[in-house]
Chains A and B, each alone.
Chain A
Amino acid sequence: MTNKKTDFDIIVIGAGHAGCEASLAAARMGCKVLLLAINVDKIAHMPCNPSVGGIGKGQLVREIDALGGEMARNADQAMVQIKTLNGSKGPAVQALRAQADRRKYSWLMKRSLLEVENLTLRQGEVLEITKDGSAGFFVKSSDSQSYSARKVIVATGTFLRGEIVIGSTSAPGGRAGELPSNGISKALKQLGVELGRFQSATPPRVLEHSVDTGKMVVQPGDIDPVRFSFESAKRRIKQRQCYLTYTGEKVHNVIKKNLHLSPIKSGSVSAKGPRYCPSIDRKIMNFPDRKRHPVFVEPEGWRNHEMYLQGLTTSMPIEVQEKIINSVLGLEKAIMIRPGYAVSYDYVLPHQLKKTLECFLRPGLYTAGQINGTSGYEEAAAQGLMAGINAALACQGKESLVLDRASAYIGVLIDDLVTKEIDEPYRMFTSRAEYRLLLRSDNADLRLAPIGHSLGLISDERMSRVEKKRQGIEACIAKLEATPVEVAGLLDPIEGKRARKEGRLRAKVLLKRPEVTIEQLKPIVRLGRFSKEIRRQAEIEIKYEGYIKRQQSRITAQKQFEKMELPDIDFKQIEAMSSEARQKLDQVKPRSLGQASRIAGVTPADISILMIYIEQCRKSL
């Protein structure tokens, strides 16, 4: 049977955010793809908050778009509100966040899947994954069909042996109301993949008409909204409002009184959960002095009249959940429609993966998304896209695509996953990126569209628009460089005296001053022919020129260091190193000095010892 032609090039298991991006990318690159979904009516479902983006995450969405992924376009079409976060701060930490219509998002994504050639979407629970000689894999599904493929991408989210917990009750489930998948955990173990256990949770939802928004602070969307996709039309859209309220003493007392009933206290939820997204019970336990915690009350769609209670995540017994909700200002009469719950699930320890997201042990087997120990739709989609691209490249016998930490947040995400020790669900933050001033949300297309284009995921037409934008920015900077400006005409009367002495200065030099904006210079330097987007890019490049240059030189130095390959070393032999570092290095087996330096538990001192050791090895050869 080993010579038999396979049914598909790639089988993607799971149609969440990772599975959708993986199958779309691979099919668009010309591979024959089968996407197996446990329920075709829950495609790209957002079981937690139907929101896309946020700080660090918004950058990922923009990068997905620049590489030809779907999430940004889909979010633009399905959004009910969008805003730029950190708008008053520097460009490196600005990010978009949208509130989406959950049903519409799912419907649109399904439509995209069905429209793409080479892609077959099918409902079925996977019962078995087995190795098919050297040719590939067999996947057996609950509709009594077996499929063969050269590559398999497992993107099953929280469904692996999923267990839902509320209070002291627990029941098998991947998401509320949906059955878990037990066959895949077994199949992965049989294939030699090591699994761990994580936990995630979601807050209760309440009916909109029972919420007194009059007592809350209105959180409107941006008046002049930016869109996620560089390709979406920039038009004004109708938006829905979000609201902000706070917990108070009353809420905290209810929780303190019932803390013994909290699953995190009683131990029925023992798996590690995301620290940055704690349940309200944990917040009260960990910050006993805080007088109040914010609660964002957010709509879940256009025709949806449930409200999401961001900040009130809990898996306490239902009666306690109701008491907590009804003690919050504005939620006194709120009616709960869905209870909050915690879900624990198996995940793949990601150090078993290459940077292509392929398992070291099982060539041809990829894992992507929450199954790799991440949290969040955006992190999942980014991994799905990369797994799909790499599985397709491997099918076509082409070189794999690995984005490094200096070129994309996606690179940071995957590098962190496969090298660092992940002891809680991983979430992206801007602080995780060393070169965040270069990896901005606003320049993702300039950074990554050429890669998307070379993969065939970005059309020639779109690529030429990106190229034109790049040239525009260069021309705009050149114009600012070449044009002298009368300083006195620009500065305000108080500064005027000092300014007069300065006479004329080049516009570019002036723009570096914090108080000068490019829009002030626009009429003087005559920048009207450049679009606002281009002017903004030129402004950032000029204002942050020093920082950008510094980061670039650090990247060059890092690349030298990074490139230094490690020969086959028995790390356990290097006795001068700390035992923790030896253990970690032996576990990860880094292939370069750069990778070794980023392993958690390996200190700069350990790296110096390692460098000396390699030098000695070389000399003795």
Chain B
Amino acid sequence: MAGLHATEAASKSGARPLVITSSWDTAGYLAWGPSLSVKGGPGGLNQKILRKALFYEGELNGRTILIDGYKFQGYWRESLERQAGIRIFQDTCEDVTREKSFWKVRTMWGKIYFGKTLIIATGTFLGGRVEIGSEEFAGGRPGESGSARLEKALRVLGSEFYLTKEEAGPIIGVDGIEWGKLGTVDEALGFCWTETSDKKRVYIEPIDRGGKEFYLRLPGGQTRKSASLNLLPGLKKAQTVRPAYTVFYQAIGQDQLRETQESKFADGLFFAGRVNGAQNYAESALQGSRAGCGAAKKVSRET
């Protein structure tokens, strides 16, 4: 999220950005479900793309929107792929060093790039470890490898990280949901809710329009209880498609960054998104845009 917005903002500000991603297919993936609480507008999210992918808007503990993940990813990819000033390269960034006034990036497959500024928007992938039930493995999301080497390189450059965690709720399939036992937000979309034994609401959010998967937004700190998901009313026979997971990763504190998201200790190095502790899509987007603008400005000032 932060990376896409940073790229877009940098390009708009006249810079020529390069995106390096381990998987272009998962760019813009909504790992934390389709919904977003927005107060007075969707924050830093790109309006044009959001409008095309948004498929629900209503009042639920404040203004809430649902974003169609399939469309959102599609439009974002299309938007960046079509801009001649933007380069995209699918590879894993493994090393970062300073060479004169440039940032030198080396990828897993041995490609070397030089940039005047560098934005780190690695989400939960920096030193990521995923925990599902009692199993734990390296990675930023289940099935996707993390970037342990990049973490080391960034530490060498003087960045200090702290260990933090994020929890993603489970995704369930349509088969087995007892709709009659659920509270309804939007019937046509299958947007519903149920309740835990202590009367806390669990929202059942469709992840895209016409799709057959639903993200369960559990009340804070409850992902570990997803094994007991079938105790929730209406979900007795529900089938988990993707289990809930917790990801532990390295993040950088706000005290290390300037307002432009630039590091106070490394000139031209920016951090944005979850890696800087952003709590939702809007915040990630905002940080990304800020970093993209900041980085572009820095480049134009130097030349």
Residues of A within 8 A of B (CB): 38-42, 103, 107, 110-111, 114-117, 119-125, 142-145, 166-169, 171, 176-179, 207-210, 303-306, 317-319, 335-339, 341
Contact = CB atoms under 8 A, between A and B. Distances in A.
B91 A209 contact: no
B103 interface: no
Nearest to B135: A144
A590 to B, nearest CB: 42
B110 interface: yes
B174 A120 contact: no
B108 A171 contact: yes
Given A40-B242, A123-B243, A179-B143, A303 B77 contact: yes
A40 B26 CA distance: 12
Nearest to A35: B241
B137 interface: yes
Contacts of A107: 70, 208, 211
A559 B109 CA distance: 54
Given A123-B143, A142-B135, A303-B77, A339 B173 contact: no
A341 B143 CA distance: 20
Given A179-B144, A305-B78, A207 B88 contact: yes
B75 interface: yes
A166 B110 CA distance: 9
Which residue, A41, A42, A171, has most C-beta atoms of chain B within 10 A? Answer: A41
B137 to A, nearest CB: 7
B26 A122 contact: no
Contacts of B210: 111
Contacts of A110: 211-213
A107 to B, nearest CB: 6
A169 B106 CA distance: 13
A122 B241 contact: yes
A177 B241 contact: no
B124 to A, nearest CB: 16
Interface stretch (B2-10, B17-25, B56-64, B114-122): B17-25
Interface in B212-250: 212-213, 239-243
B241 A121 contact: yes
B110 A169 contact: yes
Interface string B2-46: 000000000000000000001111100100000000000000000
Nearest to B210: A111
A305 B89 CA distance: 14
Contacts of A121: 173, 239, 241
Contacts of A143: 132-133, 135, 142, 243
Contacts of A168: 110
A123 B81 contact: no
B82 interface: yes
B139 A179 contact: yes
Contacts of B75: 303
B111 interface: yes
Given A144-B135, A306-B81, A339-B90, A117 B175 contact: yes
Given A171-B108, A207-B81, A115 B212 contact: yes
B87 A303 contact: no
Given A169-B110, A304-B78, A337-B24, 15 more contacts: A38-B143, A41-B26, A111-B211, A114-B173, A114-B241, A115-B175, A144-B133, A168-B110, A169-B109, A171-B108, A177-B22, A178-B23, A209-B81, A335-B87, A338-B90
User: Lowest 10 A-B CB distances belong to which pairs?
Assistant: A144-B133, A114-B212, A177-B23, A305-B81, A39-B143, A123-B242, A338-B90, A303-B78, A144-B135, A143-B243
Interface in B55-111: 70, 73-75, 77-78, 81-84, 87-92, 108-111
B145 interface: yes
B241 A123 contact: yes
Contacts of A117: 175
B134 interface: yes
Contacts of A114: 173-175, 211-213, 241
B212 A122 contact: no
B174 A123 contact: no
B189 to A, nearest CB: 15
A177 B109 CA distance: 12
B25 A304 contact: no
B109 A166 contact: yes
Interface string B193-211: 0000000000000001011
A449 B91 CA distance: 46
A525 to B, nearest CB: 48
A448 B26 CA distance: 39
Contacts of A38: 143
Contacts of A178: 23, 143-144
A529 B269 CA distance: 74
Nearest to B212: A114
Contact of B144 (A177, A304, A335): A177
A313 B31 CA distance: 33
Contact of A124 (B90, B175, B208, B243): B243
B239 A125 contact: no
Contacts of B25: 41-42, 177
Nearest to B174: A114
A209 B29 contact: no
B137 A304 contact: no
11 contacts: A39-B144, A142-B142, A179-B144, A207-B87, A209-B81, A303-B74, A304-B77, A305-B77, A319-B111, A336-B89, A337-B81
B113 to A, nearest CB: 11
Contacts of B171: 40
Given A207-B88, A317-B110, A318-B111, A122 B22 contact: no
A319 B111 CA distance: 7
A50 to B, nearest CB: 12
A119 B241 CA distance: 11
A240 to B, nearest CB: 13
Contacts of B89: 336-338
A490 B144 CA distance: 67
Contacts of A169: 108-110
Contacts of A111: 210-212
A176 B90 contact: yes
A209 B80 CA distance: 11
A122 B240 contact: yes
A178 B210 CA distance: 27
Nearest to A125: B143
Given A114-B174, A166-B109, A209 B84 contact: yes
